[in-house]
């Protein structure tokens, strides 16, 4: 059977079996569309039904999360964990707390995570979870009660050699702390069941910065391949959360200038470069909106509407907010304004049509699977430190991270050459990530 007939049949089965899950369909299609040349070369994957197995999570968990607010009112949220693939190690992937969380979004994230974790070269399978809970505007006590209730069900499914969750949108150090505490209390076991832990109780130096720093390291590799460097470049970034903030920090350290940042309400344009300490204070400490920035920085402007951040002229664009935030119109504007690299800090922030525009206009496009893998890579290093009960220095972790990102760039470039799609790093990432998982699945038999 021709490779494209195989991938089409798998895709149709995914549509039929997972109705009403557009984000999951999109993520699966994007991977299947690039695997044709691999299946032509290695028919053993087709025979063993590797694709059919990979699009079906190994286990799906959905549960009720009841909790009480400060006034004594009772609320009920829905919790999830999708344990997608454990061929390369324990399930690994974040928890997202956001009102838009659904099975579709978490399945797309869990599916992508399998390939991303494979690219890091570390021993990690893929999974993702979360809840449709909105931590915004909740007191610390409310967030704690929610996290404890969430963990009172999830504890039975996770463990340091089974499934090791981490943070994602809406889940930072505070939430990880509350969930870890509840796990420890129920299981009577102090163990590395989460990554992104506090530094005093098992966290790794460098984990907080890892996704943003890693994103910049891989963008630097791509720039070098073009004979250029970061010094003097202007950069636009969407979001102003963990990934956006630490990408900004690393860009500034390396001599570039971040001129735009956003949140879900709007964006700031700071032609002289954003003042990162102010952004950190607003977003990480005071948990305020990005528009507050212009109150203390008069040369910057604020505009409502987060999508317009891409109208700001830049050499490099780093979408670091959420899925499908950068559409075809934004992609055309970026290409027209001379943008040379787009690297995804968020997961799937660029729509498929936007990616087509980048390919057609020779804008280097680095997909999230590769470009934002730094976070999970350092999570893997946190697991390694926990197993040995040791702590590495920041410098050691950062050097490892840099090496891992350079290696990912090498792997995906190599795959584009070997499988006849030069310049298409999205395909390169899918192919390189897939082959490692597929080989492990073949070796482990029909499971
Ligand atoms: P945070 O919660 O720290 O920040 C998210 C940022 O994105 C906030 O500024 C938020 O604005 C903005 N945002 C959220 N939803 C929307 C929306 N619908 N439209 C516009 N802006 C939005 O999350 P992270 O920085 O951790 O994660 C950002 C992305 O990076 C996600 O896609 C995540 O999956 C991905 N990622 C994160 C990793 C990590 O280590 N943290 C690792 C790999 C990927 P507001 O404050 O208004 O909500």
- pLDDT interval class at 293 (50, 70, 90): very high
What pLDDT is recorded for position 330?
98
Same domain, 129 and 104: yes
* 115 and 71 Cβ atoms separated by less than 8 Å: no
Same domain, 225 and 367: yes
Same domain, 223 and 352: yes
Asked if pLDDT for residue 385 goes beyond 80, the answer is: yes
Whose Cα sits closest to atom 29 in ligand 1?
Answer: 346
- pLDDT interval class at 348 (50, 70, 90): very high
Same domain, 160 and 22: no
* 358 and 380 Cβ atoms separated by less than 8 Å: no
Same domain, 21 and 157: no
Over range 73-93, report the average pLDDT: 98
Q: Which of 92, 116, 128, 197 is catalytic?
A: 128
Domain end residue (candidates: 355, 371, 387): 371
Q: Does 411 fall in a domain?
A: no
Domain end residue (candidates: 339, 371, 403): 371
> How far away, in angstroms, is 215 Cα from ligand 1 center?
14
- pLDDT interval class at 124 (50, 70, 90): very high
Ligand 1 pocket mutation pick from 264, 266, 367, 371 by most atoms within 8 angstroms of CB: 264
Same domain, 226 and 353: yes
Question: pLDDT above 90 covers what percent of the chain?
Answer: 98
Asked if pLDDT for residue 371 goes beyond 80, the answer is: yes
Structural domain count of the chain:
3
Same domain, 85 and 152: yes
* 88 and 440 Cβ atoms separated by less than 8 Å: yes
- pLDDT interval class at 2 (50, 70, 90): confident
> How far away, in angstroms, is 221 Cα from ligand 1 center?
24
Taking the CA of residue 240 as reference, the ligand 1 atom at the shortest distance is 9
CATH number of the domain where residue 115 is located = 3.40.50.10860
Candidates 345, 339, 340; CA nearest to 367 is: 345
Domain span at 8: 1-56
> Model-level pTM?
0.96
Q: Is 128 a catalytic residue?
A: yes
CA 152 – CA 79 distance, rounded (Å): 11
Q: Does 396 fall in a domain?
A: no
- pLDDT interval class at 25 (50, 70, 90): very high
- pLDDT interval class at 273 (50, 70, 90): very high
Same domain, 88 and 78: yes
CA 311 – CA 331 distance, rounded (Å): 10
Taking the CA of residue 349 as reference, the ligand 1 atom at the shortest distance is 32
- pLDDT interval class at 242 (50, 70, 90): very high
> How far away, in angstroms, is 298 Cα from ligand 1 center?
26
Q: What is the DSSP letter of 159?
A: B
Same domain, 92 and 225: no
User: How does the average pLDDT of the chain come out, rounded?
Assistant: 97
Over range 94-106, report the average pLDDT: 98
Same domain, 163 and 275: no
Name the 3-class secondary structure at 182.
helix
> How far away, in angstroms, is 329 Cα from ligand 1 center?
21
Over range 297-321, report the average pLDDT: 97
Q: Does 348 fall in a domain?
A: yes
CA 417 – CA 111 distance, rounded (Å): 25
Segment 159-191, tens digit of pLDDT: 999 999 999 999 999 999 999 999 999 999 999
What pLDDT is recorded for position 162?
97
Whose Cα sits closest to atom 10 in ligand 1?
Answer: 263
Asked if pLDDT for residue 112 goes beyond 90, the answer is: yes
Same domain, 80 and 154: yes
Segment 53-68, tens digit of pLDDT: 999 999 999 999 999 9
Name the 3-class secondary structure at 27.
helix
Taking the CA of residue 96 as reference, the ligand 1 atom at the shortest distance is 34
Domain end residue (candidates: 371, 392, 418): 371
Helix (H) or strand (E) holding 61: strand 59-68
- pLDDT interval class at 3 (50, 70, 90): confident
Over range 78-99, report the average pLDDT: 98
Asked if pLDDT for residue 287 goes beyond 90, the answer is: no
Question: Does residue 406 come out as left (phi exceeding 0), alpha (psi in the -120 to 50 range) or beta?
Answer: alpha
* Ligand 1, pocket residues at CB < 6 Å: 167-170, 211, 239-244, 263-265, 306, 320-322, 325, 345-347, 372, 375
Ligand 1 pocket mutation pick from 97, 169, 290 by most atoms within 8 angstroms of CB: 169
What pLDDT is recorded for position 78?
98
Q: Does 418 fall in a domain?
A: no
Segment 131-165, tens digit of pLDDT: 999 999 999 999 999 999 999 999 999 999 999 99
Same domain, 349 and 271: yes
DSSP assignment of 154-179 equals HGGG-BTTTEEEE-BTTB-HHHHHHH
What pLDDT is recorded for position 83?
98
């Amino acid at each position: 059977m021709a490779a494209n007939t195989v991938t089409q049949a798998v895709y149709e089965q995914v549509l039929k079996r997972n109705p009403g899950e557009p984000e999951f369909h999109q993520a699966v299609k994007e991977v299947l569309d690039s695997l044709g040349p691999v299946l032509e070369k290695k028919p053993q994957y087709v025979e063993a039904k590797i694709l059919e197995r990979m699009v079906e999570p190994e286990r799906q968990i959905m549960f009720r999360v009841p909790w009480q607010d400060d006034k004594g009112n009772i609320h009920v949220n829905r919790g999830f964990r999708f344990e997608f693939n454990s061929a390369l190690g324990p399930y690994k992937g974040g928890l997202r707390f956001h009102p838009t969380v659904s099975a579709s979004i978490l399945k797309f994230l869990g599916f992508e995570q399998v390939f991303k974790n494979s690219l890091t070269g570390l021993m990690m399978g893929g999974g993702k979870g979360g809840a449709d809970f909105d931590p915004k505007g909740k007191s610390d006590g409310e967030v704690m009660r929610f996290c404890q209730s969430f963990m009172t069900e999830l504890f039975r499914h996770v463990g340091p050699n089974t499934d090791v969750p981490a943070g994602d949108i809406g889940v930072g150090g505070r939430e990880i702390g509350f969930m870890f505490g509840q796990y420890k209390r129920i299981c009577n076991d102090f163990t590395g069941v989460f990554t992104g832990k506090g530094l005093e109780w098992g966290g790794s130096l460098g984990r907080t910065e890892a996704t943003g720093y890693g994103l910049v390291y891989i963008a630097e590799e791509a720039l070098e391949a073009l004979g250029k460097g970061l010094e003097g470049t202007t950069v636009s970034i969407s979001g102003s959360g963990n990934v956006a903030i630490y990408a900004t920090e690393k860009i500034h350290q390396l001599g570039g200038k971040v001129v735009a940042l956003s949140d879900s309400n709007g964006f700031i344009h700071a032609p002289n470069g954003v003042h990162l300490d102010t952004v950190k204070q607003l977003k990480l400490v005071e948990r305020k909106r990005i528009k507050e920035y212009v109150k203390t920085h008069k040369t910057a402007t604020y505009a409502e509407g987060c999508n317009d951040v891409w109208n700001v002229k830049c050499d490099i664009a780093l979408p670091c907010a959420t899925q499908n935030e950068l559409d075809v119109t934004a992609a055309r504007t970026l290409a027209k304004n001379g943008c040379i690299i787009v690297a995804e800090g968020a997961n799937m922030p660029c729509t498929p049509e936007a990616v087509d525009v980048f390919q057609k206009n020779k804008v280097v496009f680095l997909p999230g699977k590769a470009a934002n893998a730094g976070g999970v890579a350092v999570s893997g290093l946190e697991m390694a430190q926990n197993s040995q009960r040791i702590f590495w220095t920041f410098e050691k972790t950062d050097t490892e991270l840099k090496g891992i990102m350079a290696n990912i760039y090498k792997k995906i470039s190599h795959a584009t050459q070997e499988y006849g799609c030069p310049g298409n790093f999205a395909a390169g990432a899918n192919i390189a990530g897939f082959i490692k998982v597929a080989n492990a699945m073949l070796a482990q038999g029909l499971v």
